[in-house]
Copies of this chain bind each other. A is one copy, B any other.
Amino acid sequence: MSRLFMFEKPLGMRDTLPELYEKKHHVRTLMEESIKQWGYRFIDTPTLEYYETVGTASAILDAELFKLLDKDGHTLVLRPDMTAPIARVAAARLLDNDTPLRLAYSGNVYRAQQREGGRPAEFEQIGVEYINDDTVSSDGEVIALLVSSLQKAGLSQFQVSVGHIGFAQELFIQILGTNGRATALRRFLYEKNYVGYREQVNSYSLSSIDKQRLLQLLELRGGEEVIGKALDIIEDGYGKQSLIQLKELWEVISDYGLEEYVKFDFTIMSHMSYYSGILFEAYAGNVGFPIGNGGRYGLIEKFGKDASATGFAVRLDRLLEALGSQDVLTTVECIFFSQERRKEAFQLAESLKAEGKKVVLQDINGVKNLDAFTKKFANTTFLIGGANQ
């Protein structure tokens, strides 16, 4: 065990200094305001949950969980996502009378890192969960809200890729027969390893038509026209139903006037076992990972209530990366005072603050390096010495 330097932080843990804090706060507030305008209500859940309940429901890999033991021998986890805790709260306390429930959150989640990481072990997610409404309208709403809130946050160049968990799944079963062989292909899609996918498909002994169908899946990306192409390679059944849902979704998105932000991508696959329908990922041109993702899931059932839900989560750190270096301008002025004119300084500061200004009041005796300090301010006033100076 190495000795720690006094300033060291645990692996993947980061400080947020003033400039970044202000930018984060600004973007978070814009997202939150937008989400509230759509009638979603924010809730918060604890940082620590039981592993047995929320920890196992969350579908984050076990190795990525921060675990600790409580005094009764139960394992606690730092919440790895917000969807599972919100499913717990909704099932325990908020779902009633068979009515739809629109919830939102803004909070930190935790993922333990390996030594070779470099990724954050703690990051902030803003998201919504639209619970107990299984219409395609509700899937459309969360996608439209994702687009709308990203726009409000200042993002202009981005794309939401929409797929359906049922399409590829059904196609694989129709062609490969077993879930085991389907799993291998699913993993390649999840890892976005399309070369590996092609090699895997070519290694199967299948008719050339079936191989062609599996390879054509990779081409199913684009606008409304993709649905027609998808219909050509799938037989009747759940796979076809998923296309009917996606067609309706496109109409909903069109009624919102947001077609330019949305495209279909039938290769989207989630490692999360709980997705059960439409699912999507949001990308901004310059960021290598999705800035947000979501979809329909059946997780609430694990907490004993029969309710489907749909939602999205945006990673604030990646959204900030996508937004680039737009600085939030903070103008602060400084009034220096000495004892004789202290009261006058306090009154001047009050009146400037009443105008909405940010004002530092500084006892001149408290500053050792006046030159360096005055440089920090947009404006400085000196109320020093005799009152009638």
For the complex, give the distance between the alpha carbons of A376 and B8 in Å: 50
Minimum CB–CB distance for A251 against chain B, Å: 8
Q: Which of A15-23, A175-183, A270-278 lines the interface with chain B? A: A15-23
With a cutoff of 8 Å between Cβ atoms, the chain B residues found around residue A82 in the complex are none
Q: Is the CB of A102 within 8 A of B360?
A: yes
CB distance A53 to B8 under 8 Å?
yes
A44 within 8 A of B: yes
* A255 interface residue (CB < 8 Å to B): yes
A261 within 8 A of B: no
In the complex formed, the residue of B with least CB distance to A342 is: B255
Evaluate contact between B8 and A50: CB separation under 8 angstroms: yes
> Is A389 an interface position by the 8 A CB rule?
no
Chain A contact-residue range equals: 35 or more
Q: What 0/1 pattern do residues 188 to 228 of A give for CB contact below 8 A with B? A: 00000000000000000000000000000000000000000
Q: Mark A20-64, 1 if CB is under 8 A from B, else 0.
A: 011001000000000011110111111111101100000000000
Of all chain B residues, the one with the shortest Cβ separation from A103 is B18
Given A50-B10, A68-B66, A342-B137, A37–B357 Cβ distance below 8 Å? yes
Given contacts A18-B42, A39-B332, A256-B346, contact A365 B47 (CB under 8 A): no
Contact A137 B363 (CB under 8 A): yes
With A and B bound together, what is the CA distance between A341 and B18 in angstroms? 48
Closest chain B CB from A95 CB (angstroms): 12
User: Interface-forming stretch among A84-92, A231-239, A291-299?
Assistant: A84-92
Whether A42 contacts B70 in the complex (CB less than 8 A), given A47-B108, A342-B255, A369-B99, comes out as: no
Residues of A within 8 A of B (CB): 1-2, 4, 6-11, 13-18, 21-22, 25, 36-39, 41-50, 52-53, 66-68, 70-74, 76, 78, 88-89, 91-94, 96-100, 102-103, 108, 110, 112, 114-115, 121-122, 133-135, 137-138, 141, 252, 255-257, 303-304, 330, 332, 334, 342-343, 346, 353, 356-363, 365-369, 372-373, 376
Question: Nearest 6 pairs between A and B by C-beta?
Answer: A39-B360, A137-B363, A13-B46, A133-B366, A97-B372, A98-B368
Task: Known pairs A16-B43, A67-B68, A134-B366; list 11 more (Cβ under 8 Å).
Answer: A9-B49, A10-B50, A14-B46, A21-B41, A37-B358, A38-B360, A39-B332, A48-B122, A97-B372, A133-B366, A255-B342
